[in-house]
């Protein structure tokens, strides 16, 4: 795709889940505004269903994509699209805007909670519909109802969602799944009476004027594809963030879509469909070379046992032969039991390896390449001891690398919910240091200096604070990359500051100019040629959400910068 940084047609592909006419009406304000804000470009809206949007992205026929959170996460994993803004509406938080409502007729007293749906007939939009099925399916699982096995029937009726409300009202099904606020919209249009329906597991969310049955997820994002020119992406992002509400809608800094990943992971669908393969049959398909080798060993052991038994038969009396046969049978039974226990342990390892298959693919590919090279040289007759030594060394090195990848990623990428607890910042800093040093080929030295007393802790989400530290350390490493080796080293200083704790990431680099400092934490301001400028604003949001402050200043007694954040101290020792 040709660069569009300086003009030309820009195609925005939108998921038209309610049809082309509704999509054109909903998103035309964005097209009008972008054509006015960026007059050197001509923005055009193309409408697609789910399958068509996927084909358009695969065929490089769109520059930007507007879709719901579920399809975004799926396309992000498959095609590498990247969000640049999240839709912001007046009555909801962009990070908590979308959910589902599970409704039933009000005259069905037995249906009040999602757990009551076991053995019932339920209507939904489609198996891949985000608000029309998947969000509610996750909540059913959390209340002990598996939609795929515990429901009497699940009927997928497609769009529009009003069909589901009509099916419930006509008693064609016991309950239905629709997006939040649909019932209230239909009632305001005079199509239904709210008193005729009951929302299962209903609860109210602050600032949301609608009842919901589920937790809430981020709003629709607008994303760029891998082929989109970075300058165009940055210009569109800046324009959307500056879009006034008077233009018809507004946009916010990209939200965190990790909750959508967690939903897909729990349901084992979308990018995590491969988790469904972790079954006895899937393990056999995945580990058949190991099982074949185990079978060969077992076969060799059986052959050896038969040979020994034959010798005993020739050299001992009939009684001793019977006793020996009995002993061998018992030994074989114990061996078989040990082998079965070993296979059980392998199945657990198989579950872990399934989650890390993508990360360790590169070292496994290298191992396979060296192994095939040895086989080809053996077939051609020019296999030498030196070649065997070289191949074995590289295979061992890549195997150790794969093991290191698993160890580093396991803790940082594990499934988790955001929780605040008492943490030690020195431990968080050490974990961040180990992670980033282990991931870089030529990492500089990172020294941690902890001046806190042992009783000083903060109440925070450890993973989020680690994310802030990783971002600050990585920025410092990138800024100092072209400096001499003795100026690339970093220092992390942790010290008390009145009733707070301060953490400083100190480098010896070239620093920033006085003109750059005031804009450092503004969205999309960056000093990197290929950066979007979102890392520091996100870090600032995390620290401020913990009641802290993030700032930057030049070093007073040496070159370089000092990026610092402070957090309230919990049980600070005198």
In a domain, 304, yes or no: yes
Residues 327 and 178 in one domain: no
Is 348 inside a domain boundary?
A: yes
Residue 485: pLDDT above 50?
yes
What CATH code is carried by the domain that includes residue 147?
A: 3.40.190.10
For residue 345, tell me if it sits in a domain. yes
Tell me how far apart the terminal alpha carbons of the chain are, to the nearest angstrom. 63
Across the chain, mean pLDDT equals 82
DSSP 187-256: HHTTS--GGGEEETT-EE-TT--SEESS--B---EEEE-TTS-HHHHHHHHHHHHT--GGGT-EEESPPP
| pLDDT for 362 beyond 70 | no
Q: Give the integer Cα–Cα distance in Å for 480 and 474.
A: 10
pLDDT at 345 over 60: no
Most confidently modeled range among 330-339, 364-373, 378-387, 394-403: 378-387
Per-residue pLDDT of 108-147, as tens digits, reads: 999 999 999 999 999 999 999 999 999 999 999 999 999 9
The reply to whether 558 and 433 lie within a common domain is yes
Last residue of a domain, one of 392, 414, 436: 414
Cα dihedral 57→77→260→437 (10° resolution): -140
What is the reported pLDDT for 101? 96
Dist CA 523 CA 532 (whole Å): 8
**pLDDT(46) > 60:** yes
Provide the 10 A C-beta neighbour count for residue 85: 25
Has residue 462 been placed in a domain?
A: yes
Same domain, 308 and 229: no
Q: Which two structure tokens, joined as six digits, stand for 489?
A: 């080293």
Task: Kindly state whether residue 453 falls inside one of the protein's structural domains.
Answer: yes
Q: For the residues 382-399, what does the mean pLDDT come to?
A: 77
Print the domain residue range for 387. 356-414
pLDDT for res 341: 33
Residue 317 pLDDT > 50, yes or no? Answer: yes
What φ, ψ does residue 457 adopt, rounded to 5°?
-135, 170
Residue 382 within any structural domain of the chain: yes
Task: Place 1 in a pLDDT band, splitting at 50, 70 and 90.
Answer: very low
Out of 212-216, 281-285, 298-302, least confident range:
281-285
Predicted local distance difference test score (pLDDT) of residue 20: 85
Domain match, 89 and 226 both = yes
What pLDDT, on a 0 to 100 scale, did the predictor assign at position 559? 86
Query: Per-residue pLDDT for 194 more than 60?
Result: yes
Domain tally, the chain: 5
pLDDT at 92: 77
Residues 493 and 514 in one domain: yes
The candidate with the shortest Cα–Cα distance to 199, out of 138, 136, 137, 148, is 136
Q: 573 lies in a domain?
A: no
Query: For residues 550 and 567, is the Cβ–Cβ distance under 8 A?
Result: no
pTM as predicted: 0.50
pLDDT, one tens digit per residue, over 141-186 is 999 999 999 999 999 998 888 999 999 999 999 999 999 989 999 9
User: Average pLDDT, stretch 416-426?
Assistant: 75
Co-location of 231 and 349 in the same domain: no
Which of 12-16, 66-70, 193-197, 472-476 comes out lowest in average pLDDT?
472-476
Residue 236 lies in a domain: yes
The arithmetic mean of pLDDT across residues 386-410, rounded, is: 70
* Predicted local confidence at residue 361, as pLDDT: 62
Q: Tell me which of 32-36, 151-155, 373-377, 402-406 is least confident.
A: 402-406
pLDDT interval class at 290 (50, 70, 90): confident
Count CB-CB contacts under 10 A for residue 514.
7
Percent of the chain with pLDDT over 90: 41
Based on the fold, state whether residues 134 and 255 are members of the same structural domain.
no
């Amino acid at each position: 795709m040709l660069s569009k940084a300086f003009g030309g047609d820009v195609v925005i592909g939108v998921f038209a889940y309610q049809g082309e006419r509704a999509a054109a009406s909903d998103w035309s304000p964005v097209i009008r505004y972008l054509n006015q804000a960026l007059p050197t470009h001509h923005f055009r809206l193309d409408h697609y269903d789910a399958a068509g949007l996927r084909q358009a992205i695969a065929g490089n026929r769109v520059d930007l994509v507007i879709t719901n959170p579920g399809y975004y996460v799926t396309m992000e994993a498959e095609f590498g699209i990247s969000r640049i803004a999240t839709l912001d509406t007046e009555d909801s938080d962009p990070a908590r805007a979308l959910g589902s409502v599970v409704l039933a007729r009000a005259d069905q007293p037995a249906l009040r909670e999602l757990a009551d749906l076991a053995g019932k007939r339920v209507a939904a939009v489609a198996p891949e519909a985000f608000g029309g099925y998947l969000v509610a399916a996750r909540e059913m699982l959390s209340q002990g109802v598996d939609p795929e096995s515990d429901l009497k029937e699940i009927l997928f009726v497609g769009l529009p969602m009003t069909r589901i409300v009509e099916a419930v009202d006509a008693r064609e099904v016991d309950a239905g799944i629709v997006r939040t606020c649909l019932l209230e919209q239909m009632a305001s249009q005079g199509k239904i009476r709210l008193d005729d329906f009951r929302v299962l597991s209903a609860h109210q969310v602050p600032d949301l004027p609608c009842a919901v049955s589920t937790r809430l997820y981020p709003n629709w994002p607008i994303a760029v594809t891998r082929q989109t020119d970075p300058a165009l992406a940055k210009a569109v992002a800046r324009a959307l963030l500056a879009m006034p509400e008077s233009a018809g809608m507004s946009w916010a800094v990209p939200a965190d879509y990790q909750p959508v990943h967690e939903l897909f992971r729990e349901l084992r669908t979308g990018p995590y469909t491969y988790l469904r393969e972790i079954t006895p049959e899937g393990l056999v398909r995945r580990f058949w070379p190991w099982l074949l080798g185990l079978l060969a060993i077992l076969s060799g052991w059986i052959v050896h046992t038969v040979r020994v038994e034959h010798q005993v038969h020739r050299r001992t009396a009939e009684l001793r032969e019977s006793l020996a046969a009995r002993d061998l049978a018992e030994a074989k039974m114990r061996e078989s039991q040990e082998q079965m226990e070993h296979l059980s342990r392998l199945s657990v390892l198989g579950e872990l390896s399934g989650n890390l298959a993508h990360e360790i693919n590169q070292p496994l590919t290298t191992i396979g390449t060296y192994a095939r090279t040895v086989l080809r040289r053996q077939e051609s007759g020019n296999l030498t001891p030196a070649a065997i030594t070289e191949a074995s060394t590289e295979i061992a090195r890549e195997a150790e690398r794969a093991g290191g990848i698993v160890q580093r990623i396991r803790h940082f990428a594990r499934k988790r919910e955001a929780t605040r607890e008492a943490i030690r910042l020195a431990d968080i800093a050490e974990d961040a240091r180990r992670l980033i040093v282990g991931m870089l080929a030529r990492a500089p030295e990172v020294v941690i200096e902890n001046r806190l007393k042992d009783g000083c802790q903060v109440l925070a989400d450890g993973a989020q604070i680690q994310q802030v530290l990783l971002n600050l350390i990585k920025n410092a490493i990138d800024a100092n990359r072209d400096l001499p080796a003795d100026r690339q080293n970093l220092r992390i200083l942790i010290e008390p500051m009145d009733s707070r704790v301060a953490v400083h990431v100190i480098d010896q680099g070239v620093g920033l100019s006085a003109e750059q400092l005031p804009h450092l934490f503004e969205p999309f301001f960056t000093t990197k040629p290929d950066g979007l400028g979102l890392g520091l604003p996100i870090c600032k949001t995390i620290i401020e959400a913990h009641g802290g402050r993030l700032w930057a200043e030049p070093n007073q007694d040496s070159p370089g910068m000092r990026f610092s954040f402070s957090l309230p101290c919990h049980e600070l020792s005198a």
